[in-house]
Chain A
Amino acid sequence: MTGEVPTWEAVARTHGRFLYNVAYRLTGNDDDAYDLVQEALLRVRKGLETYQPGSMEGWLSRIVTNVFLDEVRRKRRRPVEVMPDDPERLLPSAPSADEATESLSSDVQAALRRLPEEFRTAVVLCDVVGLSYEEIADAISVPVGTVRSRIHRGRRLLRAALQ
């Protein structure tokens, strides 16, 4: 009956690295990436019952992005909480230990983390995940023209931050 639908364990085993990497690039730190992946995994388990065989990574990145954006919206509604762009995290002089080990890419990661979420999400889905503009538009429910504009503005902001 389940036929081609993979088991939850198979998904976690095969795509766990991918899922975590996307979560890390979206959130910019291991703490939040960990929370994000846990919530995404719960949704994956529910979603597998109705999963239509197709691009697993596309489907997973849609789930993890939606969890991320839900969290961003939730925090915006409750501004008392620490925001993802609070000054602590804006300090480029305080990279986390894992960033130090990625010395070559840490500047890019730090700049990515400082991007407003809308631009960061579009850039990550395009350049880290490799989705098409249409797939991104579908994933975050905005028009393709908005996706194009966010990707371009995101890249220009990154470029400016790294100059």
Chain B
Amino acid sequence: MIPRPPGPGSDGHLDDVLSAYLDDELAPAARREADAHLAACADCRAELDDVAAIRQAVRILPVHAAPHPLLDWPVAAAVAAASPRRRAAWALAAVAAAAIAMLLPREPEVAPSLPTLAGSHAARASITGDPLSQLAPIAVPVRFGP
């Protein structure tokens, strides 16, 4: 029976060394020590498997898309398209909108109505032909949901 090399954790196990092991964040000597401990410790091997599984589950989360393209957002369009003099005004408008939004009572999450957003955006884009520069002057900071 091989004696189990003690791990660096408070109870002699590998503890957070396991995450560093999975993320390849250990120096070669520390990695060899971890390997030696794992070879002799079923508890740490089981925890390694658990942590590896959850790590993988987070890594394969799909990219969550924005409700509509970033460049169409009012503040974004204002930043991109406003002349230097108007930028200050837009920044103020954004700050004011944010302040008002913060005063509003928050409700449970409400999913944005995508068809509505997409429809109104498409209508504006087809009228103006150039959503980026044309949206800015008429854009009003809008919030999704509440």
Interface set of A (CB-CB < 8 Å, partner B): 8-9, 12-13, 16-21, 24-25, 29-31, 33-35, 37-39, 41-42, 45, 81-82, 88-89, 94, 96-98, 102, 105, 108-109, 112, 123-124, 126-128, 132-133, 148-149, 151-153, 155-156, 158-159, 162
Contact = CB atoms under 8 A, between A and B. Distances in A.
A100 to B, nearest CB: 9
B135 to A, nearest CB: 13
A105 B144 contact: no
A127 B98 contact: no
Interface stretch (B35-43, B60-68, B123-131): B60-68
Interface in B29-50: 50
9 contacts: A20-B65, A25-B61, A35-B143, A37-B66, A39-B98, A81-B102, A133-B20, A158-B57, A159-B51
B138 interface: no
B115 to A, nearest CB: 12
- Nearest 10 CB-CB pairings of A with B: A97-B111, A16-B70, A152-B16, A152-B19, A20-B66, A127-B58, A24-B64, A96-B109, A159-B54, A82-B106
Given A30-B67, A41-B76, A94-B108, A159 B94 contact: no
Given A35-B143, A152-B20, A156-B51, 5 more contacts: A20-B66, A30-B145, A41-B76, A132-B25, A155-B58
Contacts of A16: 66, 69-71
Interface in B91-146: 91, 94, 98, 101-102, 106, 108-112, 132, 143-146
A87 B63 CA distance: 26
- Measured as residues with beta carbon below 8 angstroms from the partner, the interface class of chain B is 35 or more
A30 B62 contact: no
A82 to B, nearest CB: 5
A108 B62 CA distance: 11
Contacts of B112: 30
Interface of B: 15-16, 18-20, 23, 25, 50-51, 53-55, 57-67, 69-71, 73, 75-76, 79-80, 91, 94, 98, 101-102, 106, 108-112, 132, 143-146
A109 B61 contact: yes
Nearest to B142: A34
Given A29-B109, A94-B108, A105 B61 contact: yes
Contacts of B91: 42
B38 to A, nearest CB: 15
Contacts of B71: 9, 12-13, 16
Nearest to B47: A156
A123 to B, nearest CB: 6
Nearest to B16: A152
